[in-house]
Structure 1
Amino acid sequence: MAAPLVLVVLVAVTIRAILFRSSLAGIISERVEVVSPLSSWKRVVEGLSLLDLGVSPYSGDVFHETPLTLYLFHFLVEYAEIVFMITDALTAVALYLAVQEFNKVTFKKQKLLLELKKYSPESHDLLRSPTGMYYVPLKVAIFYLLNPYTIMSCVAKSTCAINNAVIAFFILSTIKGSPLLSAMFLALATYQSLYPLTLFTPALLYLLQREFIAVKLTGSGFWRFTCQYTCLYLGSLLVLICHSFFLLSSWDFLQSVYGFILSVPDLTPNIGLFWYFFAEMFEHFSLFFVCVFQINVFFYAVPLAIKLKEHPMFLMFIQLAIISIFKSYPTVGDVALYMAFLPMWSHLSRFLRNVFIVSCMLVVCSLLFPVLWHLWIYAGSANSNFYYAITLSFNVGQILLVSDYFYAFLRREYHLHHGLYLTKKDGTEAALVLK
């Protein structure tokens, strides 16, 4: 499988190299769907200029990236295009290896449950086979590398690509069962964009289940492992924050990065739900509704963790989707990351209900984004309501997509344990209702 992956990487890199040298690069880098005030390359260049002049990059209201990202490009700014192409390639390889390892674990778990007779004899049609799982890692890599969203993010040099790479390595280290690397990469992802904090629960659940299977943790062992992982995560995060302080000799970056993410002061249009709502909001109510909007990302973590506690990888997929929908400054690069995992759940296809409708919604909205932007900003024949309507439609499409996969996953799990054909007490066919 290494040869096809190398071929896909070469094709993806070639496409990006061609676009970097075309006139489309400048157009893509200006698209509000592709870059945000947090991830814009122009703002990174501005921050580098201020740093070279001996002025704090956080003294104004332009630069909002983390200090480590700033110093990374301080040394590599001349090779930025190569850095972003390599970053995308490494992300795809990490996802490929993660899914490959997860498939092995899934097959072993399925075999164990069959031996323990946990599955219904009637549900063998729903079981995953090695042949059906063989090409899934390659499909995931293709879905990430050749996704137009990912390509545009790379060509625009959006720093979202770096955050995606960190999350991909976090997922890989989690599936490989390395608590130290998992905690370190999760801390780095949280340091970069704050919202990956919600991935702590699925990572801990996965590692705990792996440890339970390996060494049969007792009650005290459970809490010891949980405390160890929590300390590793918080310790890594503290080291990153303190290192940022030593680089700049100032705590200004905390307000400029995390305060900016949470308070949403820049209402530049994007594909998120915040900008239009707060542009129309009375200042008196702004703080309350900012809290209400922000809590969406974190609110679903607890009920989902309770429901999906035995399936932490699917929980991680759902959380990535929730982050991309409800974060304050989303871009299409965030959407591309969780969409790359869709082939991983291809065995749910028989239970999906709205695939065609949702696919059409997402494609049509993606095409209409630049059209309605042009009508609003350049032609003057539309207004912000038109663009926000497409934004709402795009996010509704994402919510329907995630909800459909969530329903399909729960239904498959129910059929695995209770049989594919359900009947009532009187012998008539029963319908399964998700409540």
Structure 2
Amino acid sequence: MALETLMGALQGGKRIQLHPWYCPLPLLSAMSARTLPTPVLAALVCGLCVAVRMLGWLLFPSLGEALDKSAEFSSPVSSYRSLREALVVASGTMYDGGVVHHPPLLIEALRAVPTAYHRALFVAMDCLVAVQFLRMTAQIKRRYASISVPVWLPAVVYAVNPLSIMSCLSQSSVVFAHWAIVNAVSDALGGSIPHTALFVSLAGYFAVYPALLLFPLATFLLARRSAAGRVSVLVKLGLFVVLNAAVLLAASYKVSGDSWLFLRASYFSLLNFEVVTPNLGLWWYFFAEMFTEFIPFFKAVYNLFLLSPVVPLAIRFNAQPLFATVVTMGWILLMKPYPVLGEYGFWFVWLLYFQPLAGYMRYKVFAMLLYIHGIMLSPIFYHLWIGSGAGNSNFFYAVSLVNALAVGTILSDLLWGMLRHEYDGDKPDFDRKLAQI
């Protein structure tokens, strides 16, 4: 029960000694973050992040290309192959073939970097995400006294997480959205309206659905304000988001050769699920089997279903904005049309902040084992279907359902844990049964 041991130690505020295989820098597990200057700690985390990723490329030179072709780490909207396709054609024609689905400004930014340095760029972005986790964890600990997770732990977990490492090796573009999300949360914790709006707009620009995080993040900015102050904050936040989105879209229009084709290729194709391809999501099998005349209706239903709980969650848990934000991330991951394992690895890091809820969560081990089974079976069943022809699409979709069940179990367990935490208050009673409430 390693997970229960880890969460129990965190809940008790104990210092955790990580196994050397898990943490190549024993210094981080032997010393409290309080004894290390922030620049030194950031340098150690960044060095760890770079080392494990470069080691992966050195030991397995062809692994990145293989992962970029896999359904688990690559999708039409995040594939590096699609990015390379865009880089070799003129800016005004890159959306003509229906292959490229990345936003124009991201493509132009990568066009300015020689292809030989793209690996270094993706590693640098991963380092920025890990270092930002350091800053954000310190902010969270100052704001929530009950969270005793070491400052360095989320950053180290992100740096050595196999899912994050393989996502970086595949050069998936999801890292840019992750960078924007972690900055948006950090700035919301700091109370900066312009910066929060900027990074939420960037996250939505890179991947559309993270724009929904605007609702739970707004509750950070509304905390401890009067009614008039809340109205002012909401107006300012809305205006900044609209302004940033307008600037990003206008700039995209110019770099696309004065064309709006990028809107359909990058955003409407995602919302409409125009590229029906096998992935870890719940959409593809449903629409591959759906009668043609019903497809538009059910696409609208799926999008509305994804959107429907976001605002209620933000309202219900307005006193726990971090919780509302992380649950919303998980819900988006569960219901989005093209999820990849790199996004799962990113979301799992956020669960470390809820160690006070660990005693209430009933299905931790079940969800963990369920997800490990999904990760192990996914390439096997995909090969049986596509590679050897010994299986069919039901094989791979079964893995998608297992992954969805794992994420859904974690979400329901988190919600139950938070409700129990609110009910018990400062006196947790982990033995209380549901019938006693």
TM-score class, shorter:
0.7 to 0.9
Q: CA deviation at 1:285?
A: 0.3
* Distance of 2:77 and 2:432 partners within structure 1: 51
Q: CA deviation at 1:289?
A: 0.7
Q: Residues 434 and 5 (structure 1 numbering): CA distance in 2 closer, same or farther, change over 3 Å?
A: farther
1:40 to 79, 87, 108: 79
Match of 2:268 in 1: 259
Tell me how many residue pairs correspond in the alignment: 396
Match of 1:19 in 2: 56
Q: CA deviation at 1:12?
A: 2.6
Say whether the 8 Å CA contact 1:98–1:176 is kept in structure 2.
Answer: no
After superposition, residues 215-364 of structure 1 pair within 5 angstroms as: 217-248=225-256, 249-364=258-373
1:104 to 123, 142, 151: 142
Q: CA deviation at 1:403?
A: 1.0
1:155 to 152, 156, 169: 169
Q: CA deviation at 1:290?
A: 0.6
Q: Residues 223 and 277 (structure 1 numbering): CA distance in 2 closer, same or farther, change over 3 Å?
A: same
Q: CA deviation at 1:272?
A: 0.5
Match of 1:177 in 2: 191
Gaps of 5+ in 2: 1-32
* Alignment-mate amino acid for residue 79 of structure 1: Y
Match of 2:148 in 1: 133
Gaps of 5+ in 1: 108-127, 423-428
Q: CA deviation at 1:23?
A: 2.6
* Distance of 2:159 and 2:343 partners within structure 1: 13
After superposition, residues 419-434 of structure 1 pair within 5 angstroms as: 419-420=427-428, 431-432=433-434
Local SS of the residue matching 2:93: coil
* Alignment-mate amino acid for residue 50 of structure 2: V
The answer to which of 350-359 and 23-32 deviates more is 23-32
Say whether the 8 Å CA contact 2:92–2:259 is kept in structure 1.
Answer: no
Say whether the 8 Å CA contact 1:88–1:161 is kept in structure 2.
Answer: yes
Say whether the 8 Å CA contact 1:376–1:383 is kept in structure 2.
Answer: yes
* Alignment-mate amino acid for residue 201 of structure 1: F
Say whether the 8 Å CA contact 2:189–2:220 is kept in structure 1.
Answer: yes
* Distance of 1:380 and 1:257 partners within structure 2: 33
* Distance of 1:301 and 1:434 partners within structure 2: 30
Match of 2:7 in 1: none
* Distance of 2:218 and 2:407 partners within structure 1: 26
After superposition, residues 388-403 of structure 1 pair within 5 angstroms as: 388-403=397-412
* Distance of 1:221 and 1:177 partners within structure 2: 13
Kindly name which structure, 1 or 2, has the bigger radius of gyration based on alpha carbons: 1
* Distance of 2:393 and 2:268 partners within structure 1: 26
Q: Residues 96 and 434 (structure 1 numbering): CA distance in 2 closer, same or farther, change over 3 Å?
A: farther
- In the superposition, the TM-score normalised over structure 1's length comes to 0.87
* Alignment-mate amino acid for residue 33 of structure 1: E
Local SS of the residue matching 1:350: coil
1:57 to 86, 91, 94: 94
Say whether the 8 Å CA contact 2:53–2:168 is kept in structure 1.
Answer: yes
Match of 1:121 in 2: none
* Distance of 2:436 and 2:378 partners within structure 1: 34
* Distance of 1:342 and 1:285 partners within structure 2: 38
* Distance of 2:359 and 2:141 partners within structure 1: 20
* Distance of 1:204 and 1:434 partners within structure 2: 35
Local SS of the residue matching 1:38: coil
* Distance of 1:238 and 1:25 partners within structure 2: 35
Q: CA deviation at 1:20?
A: 2.3
After superposition, residues 348-387 of structure 1 pair within 5 angstroms as: 348-387=357-396
Instruction: Percent identity, please.
Output: 28
The answer to which of 21-30 and 317-326 deviates more is 21-30
